Amino acid sequence: MSDNAESPTETQKDDPSIQHAATEHTGASDEKKKIDVLLKAVGDAPIMKTKKWSVERGRTVQSLAQFISRFLKLEASEQLFIYVNQSFAPSPDQEVGVLFECFGSDGKLVLHYCKSQAWG
């Protein structure tokens, strides 16, 4: 699939702070306003066609979850659970930048998402 950063999904138009991650990275990660997030599906959650996203540090877990739900066209009634390190569910108001600082590896934050509670 093409890596066109301008791909016109309506979710992207609403969320300029979430973009396809560029394939090249320049600059020190401390100074970058955005961090790379890798989204992995768990259980029966649909797999996102684009898994790697560039997200502003100040973005909350809740708003990222809403973005994923809209992108996957989930029903309003369907819940989405997000996990870090396959071990804990961060608070919805937690900033992804903080999670990246503490739990990022290889320059990205890996988040697992599922429609039911996976790791309690």
Partner 1 sequence: RKVIMADDKDVLRDVWFGRIPACFTLSPEETTEREAEPYYLLLPRVSYLTLVTDKVKKHFLRVMKTEDVEEMWFEYEGTPLKWHYPIGVLFDLHASNTALPWNVTVHFKNFPERDLLHCSSNSVIEAHFMSCIKEADALKHKSQVINDMQKKDHKQLWMGLQNDKFDQFWAMNRKLMEYPTEEGGFRYIPFRIYQTTSDRPFIQKLFRPVSPEGHTLTLGDLLKELFPAAICAEDEPKRFQVMIHGIEPLLETPIQWLSEHLSHPDNFLHISIIPAPSD
Residue ranges in contact with partner 1 by CB under 8 A: 58, 84-85, 87-93, 95, 98, 101-103, 119-120
Tracing tokens 């600059």 back to the chain, one arrives at 27
CB of 101 to partner 1, least distance (A): 5
CB of 112 to partner 1, least distance (A): 14
DSSP letter string, 32-101: -SEEEEEEEE-TTPPPPS--EEEEETT-BHHHHHHHHHHHTT--TT---EEEETTTB---TT-BHHHHHH
Q: Which is nearer to partner 1, 12 or 62 (CB)?
A: 62
CB of 23 to partner 1, least distance (A): 27
How far from the centroid of its chain's Cα atoms is residue 111's Cα? 7
CB of 7 to partner 1, least distance (A): 30
Residue 61 in tokens: 């877990």
Q: Which is nearer to partner 1, 12 or 81 (CB)?
A: 81
Q: Which is nearer to partner 1, 58 or 107 (CB)?
A: 58
